[in-house]
Amino acid sequence: MKFATEHLWFETRNKREYINITDKVEQIVRKSGVKEGMVLVSAMHITAGVYVNDAESGLIQDIDDWLEQLAPFRQDYRHHRTGETNGDAHLKSLLIHHEVIVPITDGKLDLGPWQQVYYAEFDGQRRKRLIIKVMGE
């Protein structure tokens, strides 16, 4: 069994951003030499997430609007009593989740026809890390 681990770093301009990382994940899978297995893509911060969905700008805006409706920015989150102001970012991360596992078949990501891998940032404008761990034969 082979394993390969790499990290991607992000420092977004905006507080919330959705970044298509499919090409970067594919490059790491190719470099690993794994032909059959899986790749774990996981945000290493509790105010970010990773998801798989369509790369369509209207849908991305719909996702952002939906998350803002479910977990809007507010001043009264109990978390803010700690001095932080990102309670909504923690909740958005829970809704999206922090990781995905994608199958690898014949050395390639085995995604559906419209599926892409996204890094979702909910408390940006500071440096954050993502781990990509490839596992297989």
* 1-29 tens-digit pLDDT: 999 999 999 999 999 999 999 999 999 99
Name the average pLDDT for the chain.
97
Give me the mean pLDDT over the 66-93 stretch.
96
pLDDT (average), residues 101-112 = 98
User: What pLDDT is stored for residue 28 in this prediction?
Assistant: 98
**CATH for the stretch 2-136:** 2.60.120.460
Other CB atoms within a 10 A radius of the CB of residue 7 amount to: 11
* Whole-structure pTM value: 0.95
Distance between CA 55 and CA 62 in Å, rounded?
12
Q: 136: how many CB neighbours lie within 10 A of its CB?
A: 20
Residue 24: the pLDDT is 98
Domain ranges of the chain: 2-136
Provide CB contacts within 8 A for 17, sequence distance 6+: 120, 121, 124
